[in-house]
Structure 1
Amino acid sequence: MATRSSARRDTGVHTRSFTGCATCRSRHVKCDEGRPTCSMCAYFDLPCAGYKKDVFFDTKNPESRIRFRRPLLTEEERQRMSQWLVSTAPPKSTTRLLSRIDEESERHASCSDDIGLVYGPFGVFKVRQRQDECSSPLAGESLPLQVVEELESEDTSTSSPPQDISQILETLPMASTFAQWSPEFMQSLLEQPEQGLTPTTPDLLEMIMDQGHLATPSIIMPQRDYQLTTFVPTSYSPVSPLTSPSITKSIPQDAVFLLKHYSSTVISLMTPLRHKKTPWHILFIPHVKDCLAALALGEDLSHASLCTFFGTLAISAFSLGGVSQSETWLDQAQIYLQRAREHARSMLITAYDIPKPAKYKSILMAILTMVQVSNFSGNRHQAEEYFLEAEKFIRLRGLERKKSRKVRLLHHCYVFERMFHESIFICGANSIQRRHVRRAIESSGLSRCSVDGLSFRLYKWQNLQQEMLRVRDREEGENDLHLERPGLFSATLYPEIFGVPEPWILLLSLVIRLGVEKDGAEQDPGGSGLNLKDYISRAKALEDYINQLQRPSEMAIASATQQSLIDRHILENMLEAMRHALAIYFYRRIYNLNASMLQEKVVKVRDCLIQCQCADSSVVHGSASFIWPAFIAACEAEDPEVQKSFATWFDTSARRSGLSCFSQTLGSVEKIWEEKCHAYGKSVTWLDLMRRTGSQQQGLVF
């Protein structure tokens, strides 16, 4: 039996799980796939459920090139589509257009043997239509489309194609899909634009919709940017015979191009690891691709899905706008961002309704997407609002449930970004929105599901060294949302997503919490917070643990990266920069140590950043993770040369990534440097500047 199954795999024969009607598949019976109903269902006198509108490829045998799929349309829809296509092309026009195709093929045959004719969605011809024509035969009994009469009245002696077809043919030497555009190829094309691109088109089905949906792209024309060496598409217009013109217009024309840039470039900014198991590869990209396919097929989407879709396009457009210095892309990013905000607003109104309007993962992905686009665009105040919405949603809908791996991936993404945000955004600790979220969680009765407290207060530990070695069980490890309690959790996903051990994030949380205790004692000396003895004791324990912090072993780093020596070098320097930045943050936040005593650590952070940037001449993987240690160290830099090197790093990162958060963070750092110049020897920190100006008004960002 094993021999028979292996022989079937070798011959490339597909298994019956990929074929057959829904009734036979549910009964595990071999189906003859008869149309419109199979004979097996007729034999057993069962109603045939028909065939789903899915495209499913059998990839278990990579050596076989044979693929199997089910039709997207039912038998009735296919017959109606065939009748509609025939009715749109009368014999006279069809013969004339086919003869013109032959003539154009002969005319171009001398130039190239590889001729790509894109006269329509099926690669045959395109018939000009009136504006008042019917849109689609799939919506019901629609009238046949009328063909423009000018095709019948044209002079048959001329052999030149219509004007619109001539324009298409003229652009063919430059037509290609961006899936083939490597950086080296694009650079060579810019240097020798007369050579152009070949009109060959790869398998767009896998490139665009590898989740089982189909979208047919049109030609994407690159434009030469004379200021920067980059490609900017003029438009992207998905054309499908399955959708009406009104549906096609609702699809953003540059969606596929932006999604490709997001997949290839933007994701690399979020993690230094290049494996395909990150939350963006597993959750975000497939979800956005499904949204694009659903829009192409005219399906209705929830506000959560549309928020994620337009938010992702906004992030990619912001990045492209920054890289190419194109105001067009930045304006388009603002349009997508506004649409994402509108859907986010509608989503949050009904997010807690029963029955639920969307899946838990879909809503949380939408909120996290808005967090990302707010951070990348430099709007930290708006990011604060979405962080609080994410916390509220997780505590009310996520902690009491059994958490799958995908849900835990999303929770880790939230906590990782929230810790860095909380370490800097301190002026809004008692804001109205935070109090509102706290009351909503407490009144729901679900605060019992949270292992940690609802405010960033310090856990009453005694011996930190002993507590950090304590093994936490699954409930404590998953429901200690903001890492309040020290301990080890073997199922953590931080090293797998960001390459950072969980104890590092936990120590940052403990420093934040001790800083909150310090602020509370300064504002209310007679309060119920820590006394001076306990404060000093805990601060000393944290200081010792941070100074003794060990980097992951070389074997652990090699296992995490699974890539080249350059990737390992980048990850090692990122961890080293975070370790020194964590110490700088501790000494400034807890002890308010003079900056002159921290210059050695500042220089070490600077050196790590420069080494990573020199190791990768393109966008450094995980650049978004570098921005926190860069900000913490740069604020304390006193040497003008060191300040200049930090400024150069921020400028280079902004130019390579296209994200304004780098340049805006540099603006905040330069404010602090300016304050130091006018302080006449007085120690000035980012804490002083934030307390004086207020982060909600001035927007101090990192």
Structure 2
Amino acid sequence: MSEWLTSSVPPKLAYHYLDEIDEQCENLRGFHDVRIDRGPFGVFRLIQHSPQHFIDPVSEFGAQQNPAPDLGLLLYDDTFAVESDGRLSPTTQALTNAAFDQSDLAPSAGYCSLPPDSSRITEIFDSESMDGPPGFSVPLKAPDTYLFRFVSPNPHASVIAASSNIPANAVFLLSHYSTTVINLFTPFRHTKTPWHILFIPHVKSCLAAIAMREELDHASLCTFYGTLALSAFSMHGISQSGSWLEEGKAYKDQARQHVRIMLSTAYNIPKVSKYKCILMALITMVQVSLFSGNRDQTECYFLEAEKFIRLRGLHRRKSRKVRLLHHCYVFERLFYESTSVAKTNSDQRTHVIKAVESSRILVYGQDSPSFRLPCFHDLDKEMERPKGQEEGENDLHLEQIGDFPGTLYPEVFGVPELYMLLLSLVIRLGKEKDGVEEFGMRTTSSLKDFMAQAKAVERSILRMHPARYTAIIQRSLRHHDNQEVMDNMLTALHNALAIYFYRRVYDLDSTLLQQRVVAVRDCLLRCEKADPDAVCGSAGFIWPAFIAACEAEDAEVQASFSDMFIKVAQKSGLSTFADTLTDIHQVWSDKSNANVTWLDVMRKKTI
């Protein structure tokens, strides 16, 4: 009998079956009776009678998943159906953990009990920096209505009671986020972006739930307060009002409290929060940290997001909305990684690698979590190889060479996946080079092989013509979008990618790069002329500006790039653009006295 039970649910598919059950539960409305009858002897069968007067503020959030296919599990009649309050008893939970070896898959839940020298993500779980008073208020126009209630960081709590009052200025801040801040994430002006489809409706639902004094999970509250924080920081930069800065800090503290508790239960079975909600919270915290200029926190949240996707996202059937969130994460992560000088063997990155490798579901990932350089022999030919759906969706950081027809990068960011693939390859070449030159790490390929691969990537970059992808991008445009802006953005990206390759891999003299530097400047100026708000939008504009500006030698060209960053800083109100301009000025200053690159300046900042 025991052999039959174990054979009916193969260990490698256990989490897949559990996700099928989760998806079936998520598709049910809160006011319907829940009946789940999957698994041997109906152990996953549940009949729950919901409260009569229950309103779920986020019931409409998320895509309606397709019905789960028949996976060959036996179905049973109602003989063994039981009524439950929706939670497993401690004994049943322990049996579930033992049967599916949950300990290997819940590294975050155990962080708080790890010894001080363990490789935990310290920013998120540092109690000294996170713990605060049980309540606080911020001096604003209406202090009597702007009172928060800090949640006790109980890692076992799944939901909390929402504040009795809506935070002051919340409606205004959400409006500012929708009209101004969102332009930093996408170059498109239509309302079909992930932020219009997922983030904004979710945050509005959270606001409605707080107004109705309904319960929200920590993931939703993290996204809500993180969004308010980002908008408040933007208002501070635009208005130069100190009250907005204090309000933004208060919201950020709230968001960090909630993300801390959220991550302590993110890997629990049964789930405390939906996969999409947790991932939106992590992406929001990445954005809050990134645009407030805290690079260390940004890396921590990127790594937590990567670990969560690899452990809870790659092995599941992915709805369109889940794939949109994955694309949002990878797009920002690759551009971040391109300018990161963090050691590949840092404690935080090593922790993620160990957590993923020990999870027993590494087989679902099509790439390595360490940004290793893949082996290829004929890059041009291999790039024409079509990727299957599973390979394309699970190649998280674009390590596998090939063409994925189902990619969403053109639709979400106006960028072909080939651009992102080549960026990923240059990042990997750079890390391979750093591993040998700086850290004494053993290379996985000889110098001859490395140079051959570098030459192949260089040829692919030089042969890439943005005009070839105009038709692909046009399919994603709406009547609010500007074709001229998108064409110039692609040309700027192409030239910046070449500059980045020559700096990161070959380390050429800046004099040899000036033609491409001017080309990037001219493209961005044409974008600004066609749409004054264009340069304020997404990493597709800001990254080329940074890469090219750092190599600029002519005073007039330098002044043009300075004006761009000043305008973006003024329009967005976020400090990261002023900080980036400060770094660029430092590069220009150091280059006049010595042979210094932006990589040297970034490394000096991290020491």
Please indicate the TM-score interval, normalised by the length of the shorter structure. 0.7 to 0.9
**Residue in structure 2 matched with residue 451 of structure 1 by the alignment:** 366
CA distance in 2, matches of 1:258, 1:405: 28
CA distance in 2, matches of 1:337, 1:50: 36
- 1:549 and 2:461 matched: no
Equivalent of residue 561 in structure 1, options 477, 482, 485? 477
Map 1:398-417 onto structure 2 (within 5 A): 398-417=313-332
**Residue in structure 1 matched with residue 409 of structure 2 by the alignment:** 494
CA distance in 2, matches of 1:448, 1:430: 22
- Give the letter aligned to residue 647 of structure 1: S
Asked if 1 retains the 8 angstrom alpha-carbon contact of 2:485 and 2:534, the reply is: no
Asked if 1 retains the 8 angstrom alpha-carbon contact of 2:57 and 2:205, the reply is: no
Asked if 2 retains the 8 angstrom alpha-carbon contact of 1:464 and 1:542, the reply is: yes
**Residue in structure 2 matched with residue 215 of structure 1 by the alignment:** none
CA distance in 1, matches of 2:54, 2:357: 46
Asked if 2 retains the 8 angstrom alpha-carbon contact of 1:464 and 1:541, the reply is: yes
CA distance in 1, matches of 2:247, 2:441: 54
> Secondary structure at the residue paired with 1:301?
strand
> Secondary structure at the residue paired with 1:688?
helix
- 1:474 and 2:386 matched: no
CA RMSD, aligned part only?
A: 2.7
- Give the letter aligned to residue 174 of structure 2: L
- 1:516 and 2:421 matched: no
Map 1:262-301 onto structure 2 (within 5 A): 262-301=177-216
**Residue in structure 2 matched with residue 615 of structure 1 by the alignment:** 530
Asked if 1 retains the 8 angstrom alpha-carbon contact of 2:164 and 2:210, the reply is: no
Asked if 2 retains the 8 angstrom alpha-carbon contact of 1:268 and 1:620, the reply is: no
Normalized against structure 1, the TM-score is what? Answer: 0.63
- 1:250 and 2:165 matched: yes
User: 1:636 Cα deviation (Å)?
Assistant: 0.5
Equivalent of residue 356 in structure 2, options 402, 420, 441? 441
**Residue in structure 1 matched with residue 238 of structure 2 by the alignment:** 323
> Secondary structure at the residue paired with 2:550?
helix
Equivalent of residue 303 in structure 1, options 203, 218, 226? 218
Deviations 1:659-694 (A, max 9, x none): 111111001111111111221xx3x21122233x14
Map 1:312-351 onto structure 2 (within 5 A): 312-351=227-266
- 1:364 and 2:267 matched: no
Equivalent of residue 597 in structure 2, options 685, 689, 696? 685
**Residue in structure 2 matched with residue 596 of structure 1 by the alignment:** 511
Q: Which segment is superposed worse, 423-432 or 668-677?
A: 423-432
Q: Post-superposition, which runs of at least 4 consecutive aligned residues in structure 1 deviate over 4 A?
A: 47-56, 232-238, 246-249, 523-526, 618-621
Asked if 2 retains the 8 angstrom alpha-carbon contact of 1:236 and 1:253, the reply is: no
Asked if 1 retains the 8 angstrom alpha-carbon contact of 2:170 and 2:228, the reply is: yes
CA distance in 2, matches of 1:569, 1:534: 40
CA distance in 1, matches of 2:275, 2:57: 26
Asked if 2 retains the 8 angstrom alpha-carbon contact of 1:619 and 1:653, the reply is: no
User: 1:516 Cα deviation (Å)?
Assistant: 1.5
> Secondary structure at the residue paired with 1:445?
coil
- Give the letter aligned to residue 377 of structure 1: S
Q: Which runs of 5+ in 1 are unaligned?
A: 1-21, 24-46, 57-231, 239-245, 698-702
Gap change, CA 1:615 and 1:387, over 3 Å in 2: same
CA distance in 1, matches of 2:214, 2:441: 61
Map 1:387-402 onto structure 2 (within 5 A): 387-402=302-317
Map 1:68-147 onto structure 2 (within 5 A): none
**Residue in structure 2 matched with residue 11 of structure 1 by the alignment:** none
Equivalent of residue 418 in structure 2, options 498, 503, 514? 503
**Residue in structure 2 matched with residue 583 of structure 1 by the alignment:** 498
Deviations 1:512-571 (A, max 9, x none): 11112212232477934221211111111111110111214444443322225x722221
- Give the letter aligned to residue 382 of structure 1: Q
Asked if 2 retains the 8 angstrom alpha-carbon contact of 1:235 and 1:254, the reply is: no
- Give the letter aligned to residue 276 of structure 1: T
User: 1:618 Cα deviation (Å)?
Assistant: 4.4
**Residue in structure 1 matched with residue 126 of structure 2 by the alignment:** none
Gap change, CA 1:480 and 1:553, over 3 Å in 2: closer
Asked if 2 retains the 8 angstrom alpha-carbon contact of 1:654 and 1:662, the reply is: yes
User: 1:55 Cα deviation (Å)?
Assistant: 10
**Residue in structure 2 matched with residue 428 of structure 1 by the alignment:** 343
CA distance in 2, matches of 1:49, 1:324: 47
> Secondary structure at the residue paired with 1:452?
coil
- Give the letter aligned to residue 375 of structure 1: L
Q: Which segment is superposed worse, 553-562 or 435-444?
A: 553-562
> Secondary structure at the residue paired with 1:409?
helix
Gap change, CA 1:524 and 1:318, over 3 Å in 2: closer
**Residue in structure 2 matched with residue 96 of structure 1 by the alignment:** none
User: 1:454 Cα deviation (Å)?
Assistant: 2.0
User: 1:334 Cα deviation (Å)?
Assistant: 1.0
Gap change, CA 1:479 and 1:331, over 3 Å in 2: same
Asked if 2 retains the 8 angstrom alpha-carbon contact of 1:520 and 1:529, the reply is: no
Equivalent of residue 582 in structure 2, options 658, 667, 678? 667
> Secondary structure at the residue paired with 2:420?
helix
Asked if 1 retains the 8 angstrom alpha-carbon contact of 2:536 and 2:572, the reply is: no
Deviations 1:67-97 (A, max 9, x none): xxxxxxxxxxxxxxxxxxxxxxxxxxxxxxx
Equivalent of residue 418 in structure 1, options 333, 350, 354? 333
Gap change, CA 1:668 and 1:348, over 3 Å in 2: same
Higher relative contact order (CA 8 A, sep 6+): 2
> Secondary structure at the residue paired with 1:282?
helix
Q: How many residues align?
A: 467
**Residue in structure 1 matched with residue 552 of structure 2 by the alignment:** 637
Gap change, CA 1:628 and 1:545, over 3 Å in 2: same
Map 1:373-392 onto structure 2 (within 5 A): 373-392=288-307
Deviations 1:633-682 (A, max 9, x none): 11101111111111111001100111111111001111111111221xx3
CA distance in 1, matches of 2:57, 2:215: 19
Asked if 2 retains the 8 angstrom alpha-carbon contact of 1:558 and 1:568, the reply is: yes
User: 1:369 Cα deviation (Å)?
Assistant: 0.3
CA distance in 1, matches of 2:539, 2:449: 36
Deviations 1:200-220 (A, max 9, x none): xxxxxxxxxxxxxxxxxxxxx
Normalized against structure 2, the TM-score is what? Answer: 0.73
CA distance in 2, matches of 1:425, 1:410: 22
Q: In terms of Rg, which structure is larger?
A: 1
Gap change, CA 1:53 and 1:534, over 3 Å in 2: closer
User: 1:54 Cα deviation (Å)?
Assistant: 8.4
CA distance in 2, matches of 1:546, 1:48: 57
Deviations 1:14-36 (A, max 9, x none): xxxxxxxx89xxxxxxxxxxxxx
Asked if 1 retains the 8 angstrom alpha-carbon contact of 2:416 and 2:469, the reply is: no
Asked if 1 retains the 8 angstrom alpha-carbon contact of 2:565 and 2:581, the reply is: yes
State the percentage of identical aligned residues. Answer: 56
**Residue in structure 2 matched with residue 147 of structure 1 by the alignment:** none
Asked if 2 retains the 8 angstrom alpha-carbon contact of 1:236 and 1:256, the reply is: no
CA distance in 2, matches of 1:490, 1:270: 23
Deviations 1:590-646 (A, max 9, x none): 111110000010011111222222333346462443111111111101111111111
- Give the letter aligned to residue 686 of structure 1: W
**Residue in structure 2 matched with residue 71 of structure 1 by the alignment:** none
- Give the letter aligned to residue 397 of structure 2: H
Gap change, CA 1:515 and 1:55, over 3 Å in 2: closer
Asked if 2 retains the 8 angstrom alpha-carbon contact of 1:634 and 1:643, the reply is: yes
**Residue in structure 1 matched with residue 485 of structure 2 by the alignment:** 570
